[in-house]
Amino acid sequence: MESKNLYERIFLRTGIIILSILFLIFLAPPLFDAMMPIILALALVALLTPLIKRIDDLLPIKHTIISYIVGTILLIVILFLLIWFTQFIVNQVSGLIGNIIGNWDKIVSSTNEWINSVNSQINLLPDFVSNAIRSGLDALYQFLGNLQKNAVNITLGFTTAFINTSNDIIFFAITFIVAFYIILGDMELVTLKYHSKFSERTKKNFSLIRSVFKNSTWNYIKSQLKLALLCAVIMAIALKILGQQYFIPVALLLGFLDLLPMIGPIILMLPWSVVELFVFNNTYKGVGLLIVLFIWTGLRQVISPKVIGSSANIHPILSVISLYAGLRLFGISGAVFFPVILIFIVGIYRSGIIDNWIYDYKLFFDYIGDTLNIGKRNLKVPDED
């Protein structure tokens, strides 16, 4: 009877694990995208709740009125900052692309000189090495030949896509605002129903899961955002000193790349410094980029454990696996969010919530091992005549 109960638990729990994985891979991304305005509204209300409660305790005003006033002020501030930031970034990106197009002849000329210089020196190398280098140089030359046209197409495509999706943006904003005010007004009622409808055991489980999310996953997200912001600020200052025009978009891109575990700004700054050194012969900027990259990499290694903390640490090989799997399945967004999911799973494991699951699987595999006599059977080979 005990074995039958064990099999039933193993079957049920394995089914839950398989369904959870399938949900995360196939249903969670589109569902998350569809629910994004609701999720943002809920997150914003959750951030506002402590402030609203504090004001509610100080002023003899109805809770709902205070919620609406504080929420409206915050929405106006967010809208103003969002419009200003969007306009600033669009101007910077447009200026950067215009600068590239304006200096295109110089870029092509410097690249051609470097390719010819390399071609004249690779004849001394073995044939398979020189052929591989020539193939790479041809691909680079072809890429540069199309880059100017591509830059214009990308700019026009971005503008067209923005115009075509303007209706979606308006619908997103309306949905977010409506959801925000509905959730804001019903937050107190939802809290009362939560305490009255759910049992103590259910509330204890919810509290434990929330604690795991806060202490591991949310801590990891906040720490990564802090490090990315610090990276963007340092890169902006360094690029300004190195004379990079329109350095703000580049610094923001480097800050975003810092969210990718194990890769970070290296994926952009290392080839960029090589191009500056060997293509444009700009030793000052090329060496400067390498120094900045080296300083940031070392600084991040020093401050990362203190910022992230031990509760969100995972083994580096797990970071690599989650990064590669996310990148292969969902591109850049998967590379960013898969490590976050892994952090949550590790936090659940460390919390002890699934200890009974682990114990059942251990019993099951021990039983399978005993049944198959794994590691215990001594095979006797008959002697040959």
Answer whether residue 234 shows pLDDT above 90. Answer: yes
Check residue 242 and give its pLDDT. Answer: 92
Predicted TM-score (pTM) of this structure: 0.73
- Packing angle of the helix pair 316-351, 200-212 (nearest 10 deg): 160
Place of tokens 């009125």: 65
Task: Give, as one character, the DSSP assignment of residue 23.
Answer: I
Place of tokens 């600020």: 233
Please report which helix (H) or strand (E) contains residue 373, including its range.
none
pLDDT digits (tens, 9 = 90+) for 265-317: 988 898 888 878 877 788 899 999 999 999 998 898 888 777 766 556 677 77
C-beta of residue 155 within 8 angstroms of C-beta of residue 97: yes
Please report which helix (H) or strand (E) contains residue 165, including its range.
none
C-beta of residue 72 within 8 angstroms of C-beta of residue 221: no
Tokens of 194: 């939560």
Alpha-carbon distance of 308 to 315, in angstroms, equals 14
pLDDT digits (tens, 9 = 90+) for 355-371: 888 888 888 888 877 77
Answer whether residue 251 shows pLDDT above 90. Answer: yes
Mean residue pLDDT across the chain = 78
Answer whether residue 237 shows pLDDT above 90. Answer: yes
Between residues 269 and 90, which one has the greater pLDDT?
269
pLDDT digits (tens, 9 = 90+) for 12-55: 889 988 998 888 778 887 888 888 889 888 888 888 888 777 77
Alpha-carbon distance of 353 to 324, in angstroms, equals 28
Alpha-carbon distance of 74 to 83, in angstroms, equals 14
3-state secondary structure 317-334: HHHHHHHHHHHHHHHHHH
Answer whether residue 148 shows pLDDT above 60. Answer: no
Alpha-carbon distance of 270 to 291, in angstroms, equals 10
Check residue 155 and give its pLDDT. Answer: 56
C-beta of residue 63 within 8 angstroms of C-beta of residue 188: yes
Of 96-105, 245-254, 370-379, the one with minimum mean pLDDT is 370-379
Residue percentage of the chain with pLDDT more than 90: 9
Alpha-carbon distance of 181 to 64, in angstroms, equals 10
Check residue 135 and give its pLDDT. Answer: 72
Q: What does 171-232 look like in DSSP terms, one character per residue?
A: HHHHHHHHHHHHHHHHHHHHHHHHHHHS-HHHHHHHHHHHHHIIIIIIHHHHHHHHHHHHHH
Check residue 238 and give its pLDDT. Answer: 94
C-beta of residue 113 within 8 angstroms of C-beta of residue 280: no
Check residue 5 and give its pLDDT. Answer: 82
Alpha-carbon distance of 41 to 48, in angstroms, equals 11
Backbone angle region of 126, left / alpha / beta, with phi > 0 → left and psi within -120 to 50 → alpha: beta
Alpha-carbon distance of 76 to 180, in angstroms, equals 13
Check residue 228 and give its pLDDT. Answer: 92
Check residue 368 and give its pLDDT. Answer: 79
Please report which helix (H) or strand (E) contains residue 16, including its range.
helix 2-22
Answer whether residue 181 shows pLDDT above 80. Answer: yes
Check residue 160 and give its pLDDT. Answer: 61
**Buried residues in 296-334 as b, exposed as e (16+ CB within 10 A):** beeebeeeeeebbeebbebeeeebeebbebbbeeeeeeb
Question: Average pLDDT for residues 205-222, to the nearest whole number?
Answer: 82
pLDDT digits (tens, 9 = 90+) for 188-200: 777 777 777 778 7
